């Protein structure tokens, strides 16, 4: 009897399972893009995926991830509003621009 014999089928099954898992993750990421989720929503889904696979995300890491994601969402919203002429830069505070949004003649700070 050969040592390690018969393990080929088991290895192939594990490889197939890993491939299927990667494909599912790929589809999940594509689905998120199609749904046009906010970066915060994508970040929460990614954190959940990591934890579901047995990974660990500390509370501090989670908060930092969510902070960055929220900043990206805000930047995207401001860029889109600025591009459509709905936003006027009024001042700088704490290194972040403060925008005055003008919609239908009503000013919102």
Evaluate whether 99 touches 81 at the Cβ level (below 8 Å). Answer: yes
Assigned token pair, 90: 């009024």
Q: CA-CA distances (angstroms) from residue 13 to 21, 99, 109? A: 12, 56, 58
Q: Residue 89: its pLDDT value, please? A: 54
Mean pLDDT across 6-29: 86
Evaluate whether 39 touches 75 at the Cβ level (below 8 Å). Answer: no
Q: In this predicted model, what pLDDT tens digit does every residue of 82-102 receive, in sequence order?
A: 888 765 555 444 444 444 444
Q: CA-CA distances (angstroms) from residue 9 to 4, 32, 87? A: 11, 35, 62
pLDDT cut 90: percent of the chain above it: 39
pLDDT cut 70: percent of the chain above it: 70
Residue 29 has pLDDT above 50, yes or no: yes
**Least confident segment among 29-33, 40-44, 80-84, 102-106:** 102-106
**Least confident segment among 2-16, 67-81, 94-108:** 94-108
Q: Residue 64: its pLDDT value, please? A: 95
**Mean pLDDT in the chain?**
77
For the chain, which residues make up each domain, given as ranges?
Answer: 7-84
């Amino acid at each position: 009897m050969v040592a390690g014999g018969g393990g080929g089928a088991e290895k192939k099954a594990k490889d197939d399972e890993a491939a299927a898992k990667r494909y599912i993750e790929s589809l999940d990421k594509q689905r998120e893009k199609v749904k046009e989720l906010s970066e915060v929503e994508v970040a929460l889904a990614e954190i959940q995926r990591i934890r579901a696979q047995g990974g660990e995300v500390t509370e501090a890491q989670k908060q930092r991830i969510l902070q960055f994601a929220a900043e990206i969402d805000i930047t995207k919203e401001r860029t889109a509003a600025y591009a459509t002429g709905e936003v006027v830069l009024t001042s700088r505070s704490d290194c972040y621009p403060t925008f005055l949004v003008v919609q239908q003649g009503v000013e919102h700070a």
